């Protein structure tokens, strides 16, 4: 077999593998078990307005690491979000806000945080962490229906929101934390947010971690400083 044939065969095999993959399967639960799990999942996205301060350890695509202070404020009803990143010395590196699903309004961005699409990507990821997938504060209105409730094959309880082109799974852990994962329709992971047990009076985890996959992937490790 010549090189061209081997390459073509490899591409076909890859395409078939991708076509056959999908997000993890879910076994539906009876209503008596599903209702408490649904309430637990929706409680992860409380209604109201909030502001938190985190120490953030960020790892960028090229492996560069940095530590910043992040200030986030949001309102679940209007899905308004504002964010600021500060150097440990207190210098403002980035400030921006967004109302609902509108454009991000940037008021300050120092290099390299002024690069194209940085603000949009950051706000998409913060929204993923703070807002119920697709809809309003409960996830039951807006442009998405209530989540499917069930269990993975290993028994882990899961709530699944079906979005346009992807699904979002929320899996609760036995220690009181949870994991929020987004998959493309092909099953390829997009991003993941792991929240530790709640230790604050307002229900925020003391530590959490966000990771986006792909060539431009990056991660952020959050430690709660103030709420």
Contact between 221 and 194 under an 8 Å Cβ cutoff? The reply is no
State yes or no: pLDDT of 14 exceeds 50: no
Q: Can you tell me the mean pLDDT for 17-46? A: 81
Maximum Cα interatomic distance, the chain, rounded to a whole number of Å:
66
Determine the Cα–Cα distance for residues 87 and 209; give it in Å rounded to an integer. 20
The reply to whether 14 falls in a domain is no
How many DSSP H helices and E strands does the chain contain? 3, 13
Determine the Cα–Cα distance for residues 227 and 219; give it in Å rounded to an integer. 22
Could you read off the pLDDT of 207-222 as tens digits, one per residue? 999 999 988 789 999 9
How far apart, in Å, are the Cα atoms of 159 and each of 7, 46, 73, 131, 207?
A: 40, 16, 26, 15, 22
State yes or no: pLDDT of 10 exceeds 80: no
76-105 b/e (C-beta count within 10 Å ≥ 16 → b): beebebbbbbbeeeeeebbbbbbeeeeebe
State yes or no: pLDDT of 168 exceeds 90: yes
Determine the Cα–Cα distance for residues 126 and 69; give it in Å rounded to an integer. 15
Determine the Cα–Cα distance for residues 81 and 88; give it in Å rounded to an integer. 22
The reply to whether 3 falls in a domain is no
Could you read off the pLDDT of 70-113 as tens digits, one per residue? 999 999 999 999 999 999 999 999 999 999 889 999 999 999 89
The reply to whether 12 falls in a domain is no
**What CATH number has the domain bearing residue 112?**
2.50.20
Going by C-alpha positions, the residue among 115, 97, 93 that lies closest to residue 105 is: 97
Cβ-based neighbour number of residue 186 at 10 Å: 14
Among the listed ranges 43-57, 163-177, 190-204, which one has the minimum average pLDDT value? 190-204
Determine the Cα–Cα distance for residues 181 and 162; give it in Å rounded to an integer. 12
Contact between 204 and 129 under an 8 Å Cβ cutoff? The reply is no
State yes or no: pLDDT of 36 exceeds 70: yes
The reply to whether 209 falls in a domain is yes
Q: What is the model's pLDDT at position 183? A: 95
Could you read off the pLDDT of 121-164 as tens digits, one per residue? 999 999 999 999 976 444 434 444 589 999 999 999 999 999 98
Domain enclosing residue 154, as ranges: 25-226
Contact between 218 and 60 under an 8 Å Cβ cutoff? The reply is yes
Domains: count for the chain: 1
Contact between 171 and 156 under an 8 Å Cβ cutoff? The reply is yes
State yes or no: pLDDT of 198 exceeds 80: no
The reply to whether 1 falls in a domain is no
The reply to whether 104 falls in a domain is yes
Contact between 193 and 129 under an 8 Å Cβ cutoff? The reply is yes
- Tell me, what DSSP letter sits at residue 72? E
The reply to whether 11 falls in a domain is no
Q: What is the model's pLDDT at position 86? A: 97
Give this prediction's pTM.
Answer: 0.83
* CA 131 to the chain's CA centroid: 9
Residue with structure tokens 């994962």? Answer: 181
The reply to whether 35 falls in a domain is yes
């Amino acid at each position: 077999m010549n090189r061209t044939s081997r390459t073509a065969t490899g591409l076909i095999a890859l395409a078939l593998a991708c076509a056959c993959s999908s997000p993890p399967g879910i076994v539906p639960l009876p209503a008596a078990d599903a209702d408490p799990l649904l309430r637990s999942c929706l409680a992860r996205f409380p209604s109201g307005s909030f502001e938190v301060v985190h120490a953030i350890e960020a790892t960028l695509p090229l492996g560069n690491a940095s530590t910043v202070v992040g200030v986030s404020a949001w309102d679940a009803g209007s899905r308004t979000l504002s964010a600021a990143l500060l150097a440990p010395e207190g210098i403002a590196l980035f400030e921006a806000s967004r109302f609902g699903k509108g454009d991000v309004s940037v008021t300050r961005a120092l290099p390299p945080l002024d690069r194209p699409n940085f603000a949009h990507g950051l706000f998409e990821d913060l929204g993923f962490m703070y807002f119920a997938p697709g809809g309003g504060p409960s996830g039951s209105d807006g442009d998405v229906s209530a989540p499917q409730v069930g269990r993975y094959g290993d028994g882990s309880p899961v709530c699944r929101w079906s979005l346009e082109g992807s699904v979002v799974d929320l899996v609760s852990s036995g220690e009181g934390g949870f994991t929020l994962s987004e998959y493309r329709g092909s099953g390829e992971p997009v991003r993941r947010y792991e929240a530790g047990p709640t230790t604050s009076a307002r229900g925020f985890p003391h530590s959490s971690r966000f990771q986006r996959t792909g060539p431009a992937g990056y991660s952020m490790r959050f430690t709660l400083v103030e709420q």
